Amino acid sequence: MSNKIKNICCIGAGYVGGPTMSVFADKCPEITINVVDLNSKRIEEWNEKDLTKLPIYEPGLTKIISRCRDRNLFFSTDIERNLEKADMIFISVNTPTKKSGIGAGKASDLSYVEASTRQIAKHAKTNTIIVEKSTLPVRTADTIKKILFNVDACNDNSEIKKNFDILSNPEFLSEGNAIKDLESPDRVLIGGENEEAINELKNIYLNWVDYKKIITTNLWSAELSKLASNAFLAQRISSINSLSALCEASGADIKEVQIAIGSDSRIGNKFINPGPGFGGSCFKKDILNLVYLCEFYNLREVALYWQNILDLNQWQKNRLTKIVVEKLFGNISEKKIAILGFAFKSKTNDTRESSAIDICKNLLQEGANLSIYDPKVKDIQIENELNLKQNINLETHNKANWNFSKSIQICVEGADAILILTEWEEFEYLDWNMISKKMRKPSWIFDTRCTNNIDLAKKYGLNIWKLGNGKS
Ligand code: UDX
Ligand code: ADP
């Protein structure tokens, strides 16, 4: 259905760019799509013949890659050449929270967006449509515009000033369900100023998305809607997690409360699963962005409101560590704790901002020996996330005691406790008989994900602590 767009270039082959462009290529075989990245290792992995070695684990992705790769979907490090050919360019680069300078710890680091915008200004042809896909602070489109229209590089060999249209098309995919979310989105949001450009992007989506689901807004509304959606979702998790602590104190059961409140159709039963705190690359970053924005506009109360969602999330992680220590007689030094799950949620290999990171660091700080198992996360990722050299106090604990286990059996061998941190389906079918024989007595199971069938463990003499259960 698309008219003019025959060639798309996407800058950034990450968790957003990779799956999004794969679905675009699958749904629009007449459009050539080049996904470019300066990380050559990542591009090599996207081009791997062995599809189990793709850089991202996402259910359904390998099938699409096998259909589209080298047909109309290409992964490359040749940024310049692919920018030159493109009719439409997506910016899907990372936007981490700033580590230093003004707004450190809150504002987004836009250096990757700026660098890619400069590349666009230099190499893209005139009238190319630029689409913001990365989650960005409100009014980033303004920054992009300023760079695009002021960079001298864009006029290297020509007298003619280039023209670009900028659209904001935030991505709402949730990892682990990315393909489903991209194939049947709840809505597609397109913000922009030029109706013709908006329609070009709309026409692409109309190849598989119902027109009623495509919402068009101005640029700033589109940008803010992404931050607001993530903040609302995170707020639901902090709300239910705050109640999990109250349930434990009062003798109620958070699962029963969850069903009761979720049955109100105004509230709904989605996205109120209690857990060890939300992780992932978006929620924390987006709320910090929102807080920064509110402070900038002098809306102190609003900023505080959203900051509390984050504070509660951190509190949840810290209180879980305390519970483990208390139950293990106030001392976990030299005790072995088996960690089941390190990804920030199931069905992904992504560990960014995973609650497991802080919880594991806390436990290591208390002197525990950790054995970590996750079906999709690699040991090198865990090593990088725990960043042990910098974060562990070497005076009190001179050896970072953790190891990576390739199987649950090895992971639980000799353990004093098991801590379930990710809701992987296989943790619902644990062989408690085998596990009880391998663990040291008294053995504890700490379930932070309200796993089904966990009560079975009691049969085998294991002590159970369940998140949000006042009776466990
Ligand atoms: C989120 C948004 O859902 C998505 O729309 C946006 O584009 C990117 O950010 P994602 O981070 O991939 O997606 O995962 P999501 O399913 O939202 O989960 C985020 C975190 O919240 C995970 O750590 C998850 O375990 C936790 N969570 C989620 C809960 O603790 N309880 C729930 O009920 C749902
Ligand atoms: P996200 O979850 O937002 O997709 P990722 O970190 O997974 O974030 O992916 C972003 C990708 O963008 C990375 O692979 C990074 O190498 C790439 N990238 C960042 N800046 C540029 C740039 N200027 N040109 C090309 N690729 C870039």
Q: What is the full DSSP assignment across 78-124? A: -HHHHHHH-SEEEE----PBP-SSTTTTTSB--HHHHHHHHHHHHHS
Kindly indicate the confidence band of residue 472, based on its pLDDT and cuts at 50, 70 and 90. confident
Ligand 2 centre to CA of 341 (Å) is: 26
Ligand 2 centre to CA of 17 (Å) is: 8
Kindly indicate the confidence band of residue 395, based on its pLDDT and cuts at 50, 70 and 90. very low
Residue 335 tokens read as 């005790």
Residue 218 tokens read as 């101005």
Tens of pLDDT, residues 343-354:
999 999 999 999
Higher pLDDT, 99 or 444: 444
pLDDT value at residue 160: 60
Across the chain, what does the average pLDDT equal? 93
3-state SS assignment for residue 296: helix
- 158 pLDDT higher than 60: no
Residue matched to tokens 């294991």: 462
Cα angle value 277/280/286 (rounded, 5°): 95
Task: Give the Cα separation of 112 and 118 in Å (integer).
Answer: 10
Tens of pLDDT, residues 53-98:
999 999 999 999 999 999 999 999 999 999 999 999 999 999 888 8
Residue 381 tokens read as 């990722």
Kindly indicate the confidence band of residue 397, based on its pLDDT and cuts at 50, 70 and 90. very low
Backbone angles phi, psi at 424, to 5 degrees: -60, 140
* 300-327 vs 355-365: helix crossing angle, rounded to 10: 50
Give the residue from 360, 336, 364 showing the smallest Cα distance to 440.
336
Q: Would you say the C-alpha torsion 345, 131, 213, 73 has a positive or negative sign?
A: negative
Work out which ligand 1 atom sits closest to the CA atom of 276.
Answer: 30
Task: List the catalytic residue out of 282, 294, 360, 411.
Answer: 282
Work out which ligand 2 atom sits closest to the CA atom of 42.
Answer: 14
CB–CB of 58/348 below 8 Å? yes
Higher pLDDT, 237 or 158: 237
pLDDT value at residue 201: 98
Count of positions (residues) in the chain: 472
Q: What is the mean pLDDT of residues 286-293?
A: 93
Residue matched to tokens 């609302």: 232
Mutate to test the pocket of ligand 1, among 20, 92, 136, 175 (most ligand atoms within 8 A of CB): 175
The reply to whether 247 belongs to the active site is no
- 396 pLDDT higher than 70: no
- 296 pLDDT higher than 50: yes
Kindly indicate the confidence band of residue 155, based on its pLDDT and cuts at 50, 70 and 90. low
Q: What is the mean pLDDT of residues 8-22?
A: 97
| Percent of the chain clearing pLDDT 90 (strictly above) | 85
Intra-chain end-to-end CA distance of the chain, in Å: 57
Mutate to test the pocket of ligand 1, among 171, 282, 447 (most ligand atoms within 8 A of CB): 282
Q: How far is CA 261 from the centre of its chain?
A: 27
- Report cis status (omega within 30 of 0) of the bond before 375: no
Q: What is the mean pLDDT of residues 416-425?
A: 98
Kindly indicate the confidence band of residue 388, based on its pLDDT and cuts at 50, 70 and 90. low
- 235 pLDDT higher than 70: yes
Task: Give the Cα separation of 252 and 353 in Å (integer).
Answer: 30
Give the distance between the most distant pair of CA atoms in the chain: 80
Instruction: Say yes or no: CB of residue 276 within 6 Å of ligand 1.
Output: no
Residue 25 tokens read as 């290529």
Give the residue from 453, 464, 449 showing the smallest Cα distance to 240.
449
Give the residue from 92, 467, 22 showing the smallest Cα distance to 252.
467
Tens of pLDDT, residues 173-187:
999 999 999 999 999
Q: What is the mean pLDDT of residues 222-235?
A: 96
pTM: 0.93
Pocket, ligand 2, Cβ cutoff 6 A: 11-17, 36-39, 42, 79, 92-94, 112, 115-116, 134, 281
3-state SS assignment for residue 100: coil
Q: What is the mean pLDDT of residues 306-333?
A: 97
3-state SS assignment for residue 321: helix
Q: What is the mean pLDDT of residues 388-408?
A: 67
pLDDT value at residue 42: 97
- 18 pLDDT higher than 90: yes
| Rounded alpha-carbon distances, angstroms, from residue 152 to 140, 145, 156, 391 | 20, 14, 7, 44
